[in-house]
Amino acid sequence: MWFTVVAALALLLIFEGLMPFAAPARWKDTFRRILEFSDGQIRFLGLLSIMAGLILLFVTSLF
């Protein structure tokens, strides 16, 4: 169980690090634009991310 959680965290860190490593200028520009979003828009993006993760977990649990 703990191995799976640590592996998932490791993958998260790898994927999160890809964009700033590959295209730092675009990554900074993206964050500049996100700072202009309202709280509601940011919450909506967070909700979409949570839903996508839950759907992905559900689909992978079927196999």
The burial class, CB within 10 Å (0-12 / 13-18 / 19+), for 27 is middle
Q: Which pLDDT score is estimated for 1?
A: 82
Amino acid at 2: W
pTM of the model as a whole:
0.72
**How many CB atoms within 10 Å of residue 35?**
8
How do residues 3-62 score in pLDDT, each as one tens digit? 889 999 999 999 999 999 999 999 999 999 999 999 999 999 999 999 999 999 899 888
CA distance 63 to 57: 10
Long-range CB pairs of 25-30 (<8 Å, 24+ gap) are none
The burial class, CB within 10 Å (0-12 / 13-18 / 19+), for 40 is exposed
Domain extent for 18: 2-61
Domain count, the chain: 1
